[in-house]
Structure 1
Amino acid sequence: MQKRLSSLSLSSYGTGWSANKRIAIVALVVTVLLATATTVAWLSGNGNGHQGPDHAAPAPANSPSSSEAAPKPAAGSGSVPKPPQIADPVAYARAAAQMLWSYDTRDTSRDQQLAGMRAWMTGETTYADWARVSGQVPDPVLWSRMADQDQHATAGVTEGHFPSAFKQALADDPSAITQAYIYVVTVNGTQQIAWRNGGGGAEDRAVTLAVQCRPDHDCALAAIAPRVVP
């Protein structure tokens, strides 16, 4: 019987963002994410869907694989979609979440997956938390096992919104956003996972993303929050 080896999902791996990233990301975003951390639940790696008997979580965010450099562009991006050219932070976050919850080991290598994800990131390294984003991808051995079973996933997004804490912080200090133009967006949706011989299942997903949308520029992904902000 074929078994699902992993679900490439947005699980929470650490107790918070790294100290240098908390310092680097603007005060508005840090305040919103950390102030609400004690009132929201950790995003479960298991979700509410069907689980395969060999479910294994991707590597922790502090593991070597999560902080590795992105592959060279020549590696291609396989089935990973290109980032949309839009200036709406909610629309971009919805598209980014769908990208993060989707993968196809049948035609995409791990390096291609990482290269495709890297293209969605902001080029401003001060605000880009690539370690947490790349940490969503399983290590090379686990990815290979997933590929042996033709594991792949598609995702659907049901809604995206600015968390109430972010809207309140913005109302309290509208000028704060102009420091880096980073918006906090929570996205909800579902992930459909399938593998060889008809195996599969569905899981609910939720994630809070930091999206940078500077005036007259397309949006870009900055970071994944360690907790879901309602």
Structure 2
Amino acid sequence: MQKRLPVLSLSSYGVGWSANRRIAMVALVVTVLLAIATTVAWLSGSKDTHQAPDHAPLAPASSPSTSETAPKPAAGAGSVANPPQISDPVAYAKAAAQMLWSYDTRDTGRDQQLSGMRAWMTDETAYADWASVSGQVPDPVLWSRMADQNQHATASIAEGHFPSAFKAALADDPSAITKAYVYVVTVNGTQRITWKKGGGGAEERAVTLAVQCRPDHDCALAAIAPSVTQ
């Protein structure tokens, strides 16, 4: 039986608020939700995995570092994909989710992983929540254990969409987003994890991201929302 992600429905969140306040809470202050919700696990293993007899799957999401500082500039990015130069928020969110669900401890150190992820972030500090992103990476000890098992993961993306609450708030007042141009996008896909001696498994994944896409600029990641919206 697969693990299920916690679900937070925004369809009734903020009922009775003005349109401006609703769009601000959904699009511009995602960090308010992040402060009160459990971060979605990034590197969780599936209970339906097939594993070698003498190796159990690791559980990398058990010790995330939620206060991670920026990685060392010289760390490099290892196998982490470079951010695409696109201006469509859904397309960028899909690419970002694939990046977040993919890793390779065989050739990428933890600092390299963080450095590669940092390159996807917006440089506007007022809207960037780096802690929500870096918090997906296990602590150094757990990353080392994963590397000992040659653990790596790939991801495939099924779809991405604007949650209904975000679309409703945007329809109420389209001009409200023009302050920060932060869009909320939910992405669904599948993560496949592999480790030594034929161990591996797959599970469906979903994540809600805050993506900044200013006019005439490439998109950038602002934050990971705490759970999945519809």
Q: Normalising to structure 2: TM-score of the pair?
A: 0.79
The correspondence for 2:23, drawn from 28, 41, 45, is 28
Structure 1 stretches of 4+ with a deviation exceeding 6 A read none
Q: Percent identity?
A: 71
The Cα shift of 1:69 comes to 1.6
Within 5 A, what are the aligned runs for 1:82-161? 82-161=82-161
- Say which is worse superposed, 195-204 or 52-61, in terms of deviation: 52-61
The Cα shift of 1:58 comes to 2.3
1:102-132 deviation digits (Å, cap 9, x = unpaired): 0000000000000000000000111111001
> Does the CA-based 8 Å contact 2:187-2:206 persist in structure 1?
yes
Q: Which amino acid aligns with 2:202?
A: A
Distance 2:225 2:97 in 1: 12
Distance 2:84 2:153 in 1: 20
Q: Which amino acid aligns with 1:117?
A: M
Q: Which runs of 5+ in 2 are unaligned?
A: 7-20
Matched, 1:50 2:48: yes
Q: Which amino acid aligns with 1:30?
A: M
Distance 2:119 2:192 in 1: 24
The Cα shift of 1:49 comes to 5.8
Q: Which runs of 5+ in 1 are unaligned?
A: 1-10, 13-25
User: Which residue of structure 2 lines up, in the alignment, with residue 22 of structure 1?
Assistant: none
Q: Which amino acid aligns with 2:61?
A: P
Distance 1:48 1:75 in 2: 30
CA 1:150 to 1:57, structure 2 compared with 1: closer, same or farther past 3 Å? closer
Matched, 1:79 2:82: no
- Say which is worse superposed, 67-76 or 143-152, in terms of deviation: 67-76
Q: Which amino acid aligns with 1:196?
A: K
CA 1:75 to 1:47, structure 2 compared with 1: closer, same or farther past 3 Å? closer
1:47-106 deviation digits (Å, cap 9, x = unpaired): 866257554352566xxx322222122110000010000000000000000000000000
Q: Describe the SS at the equivalent of 2:166.
A: helix
The CA RMSD measured in Å over matched residues stands at 2.8
Distance 2:71 2:61 in 1: 18
User: Which residue of structure 2 lines up, in the alignment, with residue 213 of structure 1?
Assistant: 213
- Say which is worse superposed, 50-59 or 190-199, in terms of deviation: 50-59
Q: Which amino acid aligns with 1:176?
A: A
> Does the CA-based 8 Å contact 1:159-1:187 persist in structure 2?
yes
Distance 1:200 1:70 in 2: 31
Across the two proteins, how many residue pairs are aligned to each other?
A: 201
- Say which is worse superposed, 47-56 or 79-88, in terms of deviation: 47-56
> Does the CA-based 8 Å contact 1:59-1:137 persist in structure 2?
no
CA 1:74 to 1:84, structure 2 compared with 1: closer, same or farther past 3 Å? same
Q: Which amino acid aligns with 2:107?
A: D
